[in-house]
Amino acid sequence: MADQTAEEHRGYVQPGGEFNRDTHYIPDRITKDARTPEHGPQDVPLWPVEPGRYRLVAAKACPWANRAIIVRNLLGLEDVISWGAPGPTHDERSWTFDLDPDGKDPVLGIHFLKDAYEKRFPGYPRGITVPAIVEVSSGKVVTNDFPWITHDLSTEWREFHREGAPDLWPDDLRAEMDEVNDRVFRDVNNGVYRCGFAGTQRAYERGYDRLFAALDWLEDRLATRRYLVGDRLTESDIRLFTTLARFDAVYHGHFKCNRQKLIEFPNLWAYARDLYQTPGIGETIDFDQIKAHYYVVHKDINPTGIIPKGPDTSGWLEPHGRESLG
């Protein structure tokens, strides 16, 4: 597998051919008054919640970063935490700000996200990933631990949420969310990568079978409920959505996840359209950037760099009929 240290799927292929994701991230947390959080890693460096202090660097092309953009939108934190948007393509060095004038982030003043990592950790040895939160004044990366970035935006920044913002981590649903999130991450979010970067036929088929078993489970689960957990939108839905939004455009062909398309799952397809049409979510999806990222950056899979014209994305705006479920 080619050197892909900068990419959002960072990982390696094990001797048996199975793709293994590197899940070692910068573990720092941003919490209210830098307090010890109730959930998740606690014995880590803590930073205080402070409006204007931090910049979220998150590329629309990346599913893990797309989550953070959506959560920031839904919670109304646009004026509290600024957003820097790298372009969809990059080389092995880093995500770059090629969508901005002169290819430089207008707030951080850097061309490469790697600069923020190196400023805090000279010679940073792991992948330069998005989403990342950077302290504006110092230009140093704070964290790139994507599951806890969005969790803490929901739970630690509450006093700055817009009025009426959804509670994406309700206490009464947390145990069920953890259970659902675990399978969605293992077999769907990461499952598509396990197919796409498999090093052997056997490893690919194992990943493929697990992926579609999980999608069948989700299809059944969503037959009688509008959302994944409870009767309201939660982060569990956002975590699944960013994979579904990329499924037909990228994963079906590029990653060989081709038993069927998303549009051929009646419940999952209607559910995905329901979320896409929710204010704060659909506008974060840029299919051109998504396709450019996967088909151009993954040279080991698509050495020609040709970006497919399809699929037709107009169906995302068709009525979904999910209102009847609650």
Contact residues for 237 (Cβ-Cβ < 8 A; gap 6+): 227, 228, 229, 275
The interaxial angle of helices 63-75 and 146-155, nearest 10 deg, is 10
Which pair of tokens denotes residue 113?
A: 């996200």
Domain residue limits, the chain: 11-160, 172-325
193 is catalytic: yes
* The pLDDT value given to residue 11: 66
What are the backbone angles phi and psi of residue 120, rounded to the nearest 5°?
Answer: -95, -40
- Continuous segment of H or E residues that includes residue 69: helix 63-75
Specify the CATH class of 172-325 in words: mainly alpha
* The pLDDT value given to residue 93: 85
In what side-by-side order are the strands of the sheet with 54-57?
82-84, 54-57, 132-135, 140-143
Catalytic: which of 117, 193, 227, 294? Answer: 193
Under 8 Å between Cβ of 322 and 233? no
Catalytic: which of 25, 62, 204, 276? Answer: 62
Q: How far apart are CA 239 and CA 229, in angstroms?
A: 12
Domain 11-160, CATH 3.90.190.20 — does that match? no
The reply to whether domains 11-160 and 172-325 share a CATH topology is: no
**Cis geometry, peptide bond prior to residue 131 (ω within 30 degrees of 0):** yes
State which residues of the chain have pLDDT below 70: 1-12, 14-16
One-letter amino acid for residue 255 of the chain = F
Which pair of tokens denotes residue 217?
A: 């489970």
200-246 confidence digits (pLDDT tens): 999 999 999 999 999 999 999 999 999 999 899 999 999 999 999 99
Q: What is the pTM of this model?
A: 0.95
Q: How far apart are CA 93 and CA 205, in angstroms?
A: 32
* The pLDDT value given to residue 24: 87
* The pLDDT value given to residue 15: 65
Nearest to 241 by CA among 213, 262, 223: 262
Count CB-CB contacts under 10 A for residue 162: 13
